[in-house]
Amino acid sequence: MDSEIIEEENHSIRILLKGTDRASVNALRRTMIGDTPKMAIHRIRFTQATTEEDGIIWETVGPIPDEIVAHRLAMIPIPSEGAEFHLPEECPNCADMVESQRGCPMCEIIYRCMVRGEPEGRAVKARDLEVLGDLQFSIPEEFQDITITKLYKGQMIDFIARANKGHGRDHVKWQPVAGITFYARQHAVLNDKKAAKILWGLDLSIKEKDFGKNGRMEDIFLVDQMKKDLLHVGPSTDHGRDFGDAITLEDVPGEFILQYESDGAMNPKTIFEHATQILSSRLDNISADLDIVL
CATH top-level class for 2-35+178-260? alpha beta
User: What's residue 54's pLDDT?
Assistant: 79
CATH 2.170.120.12: which residues of the chain? 39-170
The pLDDT, as a whole number, for residue 283 is 82
Residue 157, amino acid? I
Asked if residues 219 and 212 have their Cβ atoms less than 8 Å apart, the reply is no
pLDDT at site 294: 67
Domain with CATH 3.30.1360.10 in the chain: 2-35+178-260
Question: CB within 8 A of 247, min separation 6: which ones?
Answer: 188, 189, 190, 191, 196, 199, 226, 230
User: Counting beta carbons within 10 angstroms of the beta carbon of residue 55, is it exposed (0 to 12), middle (13 to 18) or buried (19 or more)?
Assistant: exposed
pLDDT at 161: 97
| pLDDT at residue 38, as a whole number | 95
Rounded average pLDDT per 10-residue block, the chain, 294 residues:
92 96 95 95 92 85 92 95 88 89 92 94 96 92 95 94 95 95 96 94 92 92 95 92 94 97 94 94 79 74
Tell me how far CA of residue 49 lies from CA of 56, 83, 157, 200, 252, in angstroms. 14, 35, 9, 71, 64
Distance (Å, whole) CA 83 – CA 241: 60
Contact residues for 77 (Cβ-Cβ < 8 A; gap 6+): 139, 140, 143, 263, 264, 265
Q: What CATH code is assigned to 39-170?
A: 2.170.120.12
Cα separation, 220 vs 251, whole angstroms: 12
Residues 6+ apart with CB under 8 A from 36: 167, 168, 176, 177, 271, 274, 275, 278
